[in-house]
Structure 1
Amino acid sequence: MKGNAKGHRPLFDLDLLRAIVMVADCGSFTAASARLHSTQSTVSQKVRRLEDMAGHKLLERGSREVQPTDAGETLLAYARRMLALNDEMIESLAGASVGLTVRLGVPEDFVGGPTTHMLAAFNRKHPQVKLEVTSGLSRDVASSYDRGDLDIALVKQRRNSREAVASWPEQLRWIDSAKYPSILLDPVPLVAFPPRGLYRDDMTNAIEGLGRRWRMSFISSSLSGIQAAVADGLGISLLPARSVTAEHAVLTQESGLPAIETMDIALLHRPTADQVVKELAKMLSRMLATP
């Protein structure tokens, strides 16, 4: 680009800019090519063409995640503006409202309540933004985020096991049925998520630490299933404090069960995320920081 007359400078192709923005947002060429319905080699070629035009290396291709260089950060900022202007022009010419889509993933116990109130407030502030919210087991939400299918995610994890934008301790409670308690049964019946599910190992290790026997009496991948099974007297369980209902009795340390403080709630989004995504992340942070 150096030495070119002003009128003969190359024009950056929006298709190339869209490719590098997608790679930066997804953190990988593989995920970006899937989102663009293209091949990985085609996306790589587009990024190389941009690097040739810019005269700088734009992406650092690490072993785990692709990261923009300083020049890449500069180009990405302009690329987002140019793509946004292109969308605005199309929207104006078509007379239609085309907005940004933000894809959020949360654990099942975050659906409804404060989360819904926060999302409604965000939607009122940004009516042009389309929110796509999915929920499920934390391991599934994390996998979707890693594949590039989500822009922002809340996941539960072992404390400090993964780098996050922010994290908070997960407050856990031992719960029994208020009507049909089973803590004194031998062996102790346990209600739990499937193998590799959250809290399961903490439960069995704690019971064994008391020198007591246990058995799995009910297994479900559904939070509501776990809550109902405990309420109906099928066994005790370990759940987030927000998941305790009036049909449950919280077991205190007088029962001999130890406090479990091994889990975090982690907020994830990519450093190159759109400003709207970062604003939603700040609103989620304020919600989670409120007792």
Structure 2
Amino acid sequence: MNELMLDPRLLRSFVAIADTGHFTRAAERLGMTQSTISQQLGRLEDMAGHALIDRAARPVRPTPMGERLLGHARRILQLDEEAQSLLRDPAGTAAISIGMPEDLATLAMAQGLARFAARNSRIRLDVVTGLSRDLAVRYRQGEFDIVVVKEDQPAADCRASFPEPLGWFAGPGHAVEARDPLPLVTFPNGGLYRDTMFRELEAIGRRWYVAFSGSSLQSVLAAVSAGMGISLLPISVTQGQGLRRVDGLGEATPMVVSLYAREDQEPIGDLVALTSKVLENR
């Protein structure tokens, strides 16, 4: 059977004739003339090599071969309608890429993004988490539409910035701060807190060594809680973790959380405002 038989226009005429039992009623249903619908059925029958409608019957009805085709034709037309409906629906067809540190991808941030998504079904949000320095480089290279990073000072094109107080923390019941050299729990090379830790300890003359390096916030928090060492962390991420604040190791200057965006037009402008509000209320 020629693949042109699958042309939905011809199948639709065939199904309409079979359903109504009349060429005239089928033509009215499809909004075409009787001659046109007869021609489309004729084309389908020529391709099939079989009569599909018994024209001598009153009302007309499918032939045995037409009965075999009818169920398949209905399924093809249903799939065709579903495909056309899908193409008419723009949901998820435009993407906004966002980069942010892992500890800022919180439930509150997810809820904020969910509110945006509910108002903008056409938009798909592609969120990537990582180290701030890496995210900043990738933003400058054009990979992200919006990026949130932690840094010492915001750049001139920053859309919004928020202070990020830091503190020294150790696990409960572990007096690791009394050890010499001091064991540290850090992020990998390139992690902002890592370099700040080294500078602060060297400024007060404390000897140190890296006892544990973890690539995720959860691994660092777990290592500190287990007593593997102390770490310099954002105070906001330690809430509810059961960690102990350690004094006497110098007061690290707060960092800033900076938000950058390529444009301020909608919908990115709306997303920038929403993200800024979540960061401000942390």
Q: In structure 1, how many angstroms separate the alpha carbons of the residues matched to 2:215 and 2:100?
A: 15
Give the conservation status (yes or no) of the 8 Å contact 1:103–1:151: yes
1:200 and 2:191 are equivalent in the alignment: no
User: Counterpart amino acid of 1:257?
Assistant: L
1:215 and 2:179 are equivalent in the alignment: no
Going from structure 1 to structure 2, the CA distance change for 1:162 and 1:202 (only over 3 Å counts) comes to farther
Q: In structure 2, how many angstroms separate the alpha carbons of the residues matched to 1:109 and 1:94?
A: 37
Normalising by structure 2, we get a TM-score of 0.64
Question: 1:276 aligns to what?
Answer: 267
Question: 1:248 aligns to what?
Answer: 243
- Structure 1 segments of 4+ aligned residues over 6 angstroms from their partners: none
Give the conservation status (yes or no) of the 8 Å contact 1:170–1:261: no
Q: In structure 1, how many angstroms separate the alpha carbons of the residues matched to 2:165 and 2:198?
A: 18
Q: In structure 2, how many angstroms separate the alpha carbons of the residues matched to 1:276 and 1:211?
A: 51
Question: 2:107 aligns to what?
Answer: 113
- Listed as ranges, the gaps of 5+ residues in structure 2 are 1-83
Q: How far is the alpha carbon of 1:200 from its aligned partner?
A: 1.6
Q: In structure 1, how many angstroms separate the alpha carbons of the residues matched to 2:108 and 2:199?
A: 32
Pair member with larger Rg: 2
Q: In structure 2, how many angstroms separate the alpha carbons of the residues matched to 1:227 and 1:201?
A: 18
- Listed as ranges, the gaps of 5+ residues in structure 1 are 1-90
Q: Aligned Cα RMSD in Å?
A: 2.1
Aligned with 1:265: secondary structure?
strand
Give the conservation status (yes or no) of the 8 Å contact 1:179–1:231: no
Aligned with 2:177: secondary structure?
coil
Q: Deviations over 1:210-260 (max 9, x none)?
A: 222111111122211111111110100011122214231122xxx212222
Q: In structure 1, how many angstroms separate the alpha carbons of the residues matched to 2:86 and 2:209?
A: 65
Aligned with 2:178: secondary structure?
coil
Q: Which residue of 77, 97, 110 maps to 2:90?
A: 97
Trace 1:74-153 onto structure 2 (pairs within 5 A): 94-98=87-91, 99-153=93-147
Q: In structure 2, how many angstroms separate the alpha carbons of the residues matched to 1:290 and 1:95?
A: 39
Deviates more, 1:194-203 or 1:109-118: 194-203
Question: 1:257 aligns to what?
Answer: 249
In percent, how many aligned pairs have the same letter? Answer: 35
Going from structure 1 to structure 2, the CA distance change for 1:263 and 1:105 (only over 3 Å counts) comes to same
Count how many residue pairs are aligned between Structure 1 and Structure 2: 197
User: Counterpart amino acid of 1:198?
Assistant: L
User: Counterpart amino acid of 1:213?
Assistant: R
Going from structure 1 to structure 2, the CA distance change for 1:171 and 1:262 (only over 3 Å counts) comes to closer
Going from structure 1 to structure 2, the CA distance change for 1:224 and 1:202 (only over 3 Å counts) comes to same
